[in-house]
Structure 1
């Protein structure tokens, strides 16, 4: 017999970033070696809208999601030309509370998100958190250019060898930068098998506080 039920988001905190952090912590608890990704959409003069899946980097001191990129990339040019972005984080297996016996799918969307570039004084901290592979890419790899794989692989291997032999940390290149996303709304969707999704949406008020409410799917 077919089944149907309605998902329910309960006991959500007053601020959206706190709920996002709870979800990220729950994912890490059950998948400690996993990495979290997010989808970023920007407006592009040539292709209208471009989206890409990027590594989630963390949260700023003022509770905004961080995006790391290079100043020579198309996505950087897109954001500088039009700072309005679409951001989605998908978490396919989450058990947020100890009472849950089966995982749910959670989707987090930022609505009305504006990208704000971080000042130079804050970039070293984010550079130091980067994986070695990301740092090497930022320093030696071109972006979006036709390349010969074997030449690129040899360049990488030589760079890695010299880095390991030097024992010195890699310095942040001048092209490295980061943005934070200031959103007008955060939309949290939860759904399981044979369920109708529940959504909680946080809407920023004129005084800067958040109002949270259930909205229909």
Structure 2
């Protein structure tokens, strides 16, 4: 399993925007270098010395708990791709299960795990202008433990976006492997010229109560498949 990710990040960029302050303003007031401040703003996960945190909190008139954004869980993201066959995409009316993203999270002595499965659905009707995506990927909770939903909903927008990026990264690898296995060759040939090398893909994750926790999209370019590392 990969090294755990502790979700703690500085909120300096947000705090400056709220106060209409620039890095130049902070430099003059705190004596912190431009390079150090730029690193904090552009990399929320950057290590900051206690001395600089003290200076920034004093200048911005915030507590350290307000300077940092924090989720009391350490996350491990592990993608299990497994083996997929060419016919898997078509065996159940255009639906196939391929790839599992294991999300393990630890807080103190509490350890939990959620396994999300990627279900891929083909665009149903190429004559329908409203149906804007070529492929739909729905995440389902494989093990029935929905505790991740509560944790995700409690996160700030920044950390929700971070987790979303992790899920999209996994989705791209699943798509790349399916393409490597020639699963989209048949799809493109049956689309009557409606599909080319670029596939617009929608990703959606619903809670057990069918509430949308995550909804995003990305474009997969089949010409780049040789450079993808699944």
Shorter-normalised TM range: under 0.3
| Greater relative CO, 1 or 2 (CA 8 Å, sep 6+) | 1
- TM-score between the two structures when normalised by the length of structure 1: 0.22
- TM-score between the two structures when normalised by the length of structure 2: 0.22
Larger Rg: 2
